[in-house]
Structure formats: structure tokens, C-alpha cells
């Protein structure tokens, strides 16, 4: 049974008690809008994520590390295009201490100039590392190409130019405007009573202001643009990301979308993996994946191979998509994929961390948390006809785009035929 409570300052509390575990996972999710001047300030959310670990008004960075280590716990944080999240996992007997450490980190940062200067160097090094990671570099660039005039496509980590020039005032201003009650969900899952969690959360988060000023939700949905783009990098492989306009989180094809993504490139029995890696040995890895936002989405495929094989690789991917559009999917394939999805979900929910993530995501995007039975029932009603309807919705216009990154010139990408109707 999932318990819900809202504090006076607008923070939503969610709790799923599980008596048979000896731990508690806690999540603080801050729904952060892109900065208004996102072309100049992109990366501020990720910068803040780093800085909250550098010290609070009552603890240094070393004090934070010692405090969580002394109770055998773990802290983590990550930023996506619509939120920044902070998590703690602790033994149930250390729940109060774990929540206090997490709340201190999120609500009491000091934003010391020396800390900012030091962490700026760390992030600049992280940017260099990302630029030299072919896979993430290609996927990031694909999102920028698909959503070129919208913050949904911006680099979360920022650029070297932006980060090297970002002043303390920009960081503090963004924090004060966004790290407020109305933007925050605090969830926990594990061996904890909801009443005890609600009381402890009110004590630790109750003094946070409810509002930080003017709502910055001014961008509207991201507009998809299909493009053929290539970027020269000194990588041994040519990495590529190919895809179409997808669907947002809340859509009538939610379960069909998961089935389609999985059977296309979501596992070792998927169409793309079997046809391209297993039967032809053209690449080591090929996956499909969905990127979902509140009001936009992408369905994409990522792979990499040597320069001599890249044209054939792309042609085979496009041929598989053409076959999908022309022939559709059958009963046996859909049923096997449904069982795969349900099994993966059940196994994932053995983790309290996965469960607490589900709590926050369900509340934020759907206004409710779906039970395991509800999700499985939604998967069960998916049929070949409903998946084929989604295929036609996504691919009928043949609006494919591609981003390629590697040691090549424009001659390769310009010769690629991405049309899905032959």
C-alpha cells in the first residue's frame, strides 16, 4: 500500500513500506525547468548537482562522506532534462540519520566560491571525458540534432565555454528559484512506517520555501526535426544514432511503445540484434531505446562499426524498419515480448531503489503510482493490431533522421537512403 502526504510547503511525500527488507531507499526529486537563457546557462542544473556534495552550512564535503559511510549507506545523484534527483540507501535502523544527511545536502548548500572553482575544473574534465566517449557523444548529438531549437536537446552537462564562464550568481539564483516545495517529491521505500517517514520528512524539509518566484515553464513542446548529420571525430568506429519522432511519457500507446521498443532492439532476441549482430556479425552492440519527456519523445537506434561496414549496417537497419512497416508484428513475437517485459519488471522491483524511482516517476508523469498488477494488466492487453497501429503512427511518414560521429566526411551520410517506403 502506497501512502501519500503533502507538506504545507507543497512537497509531496510518497512511501511504500516493505516489511521483509532491512533497508530503506530515499529519493528526493526536484522538478527543474531549463534555465530561461538555456543557450548561455545550459549545464547549471548539473553544476548544482555537483555542488550540493561540496558542502552545506553544517558539513564539509568530507563530513558528508564520513556521515554516510559511518552508517554503511550510499548517496547518489543524477540530472536529466526535466529533473535532478538525489538518493540515499541505508539500513532501516539508520533511516533517520540517512534522511537528515540527504535533506542537509539538498536544502542547505553553501555554494562557496572555492568549491565552485574546484568543481568547475572537475566538470570541465567530465566534459572532455564525455566528448571522448563515442556512444554517449553520439546519442547526445542526436538529441541536439532532433530538437535543435529547444532545451530538450541541449547538453545537460554544458559546454566548456558555458561552464568556464558560469558565475556564482547564476548558480545561486537558479537554485533559489527551483529548489522549492512545489517542485519537490520526497519518496521512500523499504522497512519504514509511513507515519514515521512523514514526521521525519516534515522535520527535515518543512522549512523549505514553497515557491521560488516566477514559473519558468515557457518553452512548449520540443519540435522534432529529421536531419542527416555527420561529425568528424578521431574515433576508431563510426557511431550512429538513427530514429523518429516518438511519444511523450503520457500517451495512449504506453504499453505498445514498450513492446515495440523491446522487440525491435531491446534484448538479445530482438530483431535488430539477431539480424545484424548474430546473423551477420556487423557490430558488437545494437540497441533501440526511447527518450521520453512530458510533452515530446524520440524512438532511436544506436550502433557502431568500422568505416567499411557502416553503409551496410545502416541499410540493414532501414530494411528492418521497412519490414516492420510493411509486414507488422505477429502474435508469437508480441506474446514473447510481453512475457519478457513482465519478467524484467518483476525482477527490477526486487530492488527498493527501483521501486522508489517508480513511485516518483508515476506521481510526476501520471498523477498516480501504478501497481504491479495494473502494469501487467496493461501489458497483457497489448495485441499485434495495437502494436501495428503504433508502428504506422510512428513510421508512416518515413521521417527518419540520423547522426553519425567518427573518422569520416559528409560523403557517407549524404548517400544514405532513409526512406521507409520503397
The per-residue pLDDT for range 256-308, each reduced to its tens digit, is 999 999 999 998 999 999 999 999 999 999 999 999 999 999 999 999 999 99
Look at residue 420 and tell me if it is in a domain.
Answer: no
Look at residue 234 and tell me if it is in a domain.
Answer: yes
pTM: 0.93
Look at residue 219 and tell me if it is in a domain.
Answer: no
Quote the CA–CA distance of 233 and 406 in Å, as a whole number: 5
pLDDT digits (tens, 9 = 90+) for 147-167: 998 999 999 999 999 999 999
Give every strand in the sheet of 286-292, ordered side by side: 228-232, 401-406, 238-245, 297-305, 286-292
In this prediction, residue 218 carries a pLDDT of 63
Residue 396 CB coordination number (10 Å): 11
Quote the CA–CA distance of 45 and 83 in Å, as a whole number: 8
Please tell me whether residues 186 and 265 are part of one structural domain. no
Please tell me whether residues 308 and 356 are part of one structural domain. yes
Please tell me whether residues 179 and 237 are part of one structural domain. no
Task: Write the CATH number for 100.
Answer: 3.30.830.10
Please tell me whether residues 84 and 155 are part of one structural domain. yes
pLDDT digits (tens, 9 = 90+) for 74-132: 999 999 999 999 999 999 999 999 999 999 999 999 999 999 999 999 999 999 999 88
Contacts of 356-359 with C-beta under 8 Å, sequence gap 24+, read: 356/16, 356/25, 356/26, 356/27, 356/87, 356/187, 356/188, 356/189, 357/27, 359/2, 359/14, 359/16, 359/27, 359/187, 359/189
Please tell me whether residues 270 and 331 are part of one structural domain. yes
| The three cell numbers locating residue 275 | 539480424
Please tell me whether residues 119 and 151 are part of one structural domain. yes
Please tell me whether residues 107 and 253 are part of one structural domain. no
Nearest to 231 by CA among 59, 43, 37, 403: 403
Chain centroid to Cα 129, Å, comes to 19
Look at residue 43 and tell me if it is in a domain.
Answer: yes
Look at residue 243 and tell me if it is in a domain.
Answer: yes
Please tell me whether residues 152 and 60 are part of one structural domain. yes
CA angle (286 as vertex; 282, 287 as ends), nearest 5? 165
Who's near 316: CB < 8 A, 6+ residues apart?
275, 276, 280, 282
Look at residue 278 and tell me if it is in a domain.
Answer: yes
Please tell me whether residues 257 and 352 are part of one structural domain. yes
- Residue 290 lies in domain: 228-414
Who's near 150: CB < 8 A, 6+ residues apart?
219, 222, 223
Please tell me whether residues 7 and 135 are part of one structural domain. yes
Amino acid at each position: 500500500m502506497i501512502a501519500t502526504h503533502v507538506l504545507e510547503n507543497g512537497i509531496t511525500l510518497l512511501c511504500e513500506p516493505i516489511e521483509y527488507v532491512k533497508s530503506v531507499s530515499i529519493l528526493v526529486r526536484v522538478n527543474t525547468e531549463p534555465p530561461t537563457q538555456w543557450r548561455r546557462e545550459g549545464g547549471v542544473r548539473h553544476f548544482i548537482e555537483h555542488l550540493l556534495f561540496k558542502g552545506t552550512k553544517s558539513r564539509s564535503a568530507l563530513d558528508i562522506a564520513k556521515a554516510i559511510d559511518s552508517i554503511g549507506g550510499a548517496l547518489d545523484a543524477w540530472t536529466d532534462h526535466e529533473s535532478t534527483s538525489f538518493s540515499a540507501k541505508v539500513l532501516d535502523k539508520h533511516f533517520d540519520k540517512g534522511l537528515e544527511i540527504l535533506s542537509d545536502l539538498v536544502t542547505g548548500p553553501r555554494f562557496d566560491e572555492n568549491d565552485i572553482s574546484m568543481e568547475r575544473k572537475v566538470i570541465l574534465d567530465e566534459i572532455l571525458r564525455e566528448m571522448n566517449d563515442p556512444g554517449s557523444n553520439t546519442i547526445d548529438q542526436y538529441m541536439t540534432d532532433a530538437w535543435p531549437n529547444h532545451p530538450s536537446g541541449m547538453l545537460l552537462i554544458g559546454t566548456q565555454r558555458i561552464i568556464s564562464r558560469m558565475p556564482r550568481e547564476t548558480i545561486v539564483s537558479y537554485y533559489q528559484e527551483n529548489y522549492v516545495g512545489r517542485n519537490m517529491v520526497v519518496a521512500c521505500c523499504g522497512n519504514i512506517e509511513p507515519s514515521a517517514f512523514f514526521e521525519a520528512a516534515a522535520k527535515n524539509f518543512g522549512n523549505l520555501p514553497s515557491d521560488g518566484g516566477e514559473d519558468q515553464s515557457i518553452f512548449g513542446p520540443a519540435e522534432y526535426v529529421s536531419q542527416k548529420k555527420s561529425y568528424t571525430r578521431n574515433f576508431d568506429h563510426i557511431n550512429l544514432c538513427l530514429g523518429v519522432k516518438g511519444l511523450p511519457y503520457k500517451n495512449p500507446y504506453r504499453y505498445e511503445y514498450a513492446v515495440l521498443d523491446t522487440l525491435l532492439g531491446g534484448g538479445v532476441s530482438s530483431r535488430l540484434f539477431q539480424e545484424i549482430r548474430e546473423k551477420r556479425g556487423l557490430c558488437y552492440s545494437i540497441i533501440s531505446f526511447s527518450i521520453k519527456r512530458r510533452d515530446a519523445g524520440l524512438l532511436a537506434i544506436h550502433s557502431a562499426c568500422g568505416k567499411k561496414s557502416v553503409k551496410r549496417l545502416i541499410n540493414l537497419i532501414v530494411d528492418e524498419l521497412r519490414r516492420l512497416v510493411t509486414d507488422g508484428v505477429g502474435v508469437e513475437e508480441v506474446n514473447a515480448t510481453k512475457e519478457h517485459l513482465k519478467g524484467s519488471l518483476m525482477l527490477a522491483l526486487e530492488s527498493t531503489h527501483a521501486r522508489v524511482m517508480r513511485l516518483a516517476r508515476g506521481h510526476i508523469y501520471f498523477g498516480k503510482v501504478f501497481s504491479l498488477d495494473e502494469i501487467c494488466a496493461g501489458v497483457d492487453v497489448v495485441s499485434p493490431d495495437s502494436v501495428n497501429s503504433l508502428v504506422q503512427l510512428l513510421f508512416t511518414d518515413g521521417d527518419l533522421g540520423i547522426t553519425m560521429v567518427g573518422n569520416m566526411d559528409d560523403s557517407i551520410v549524404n548517400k544514405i537512403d532513409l526512406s521507409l517506403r520503397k
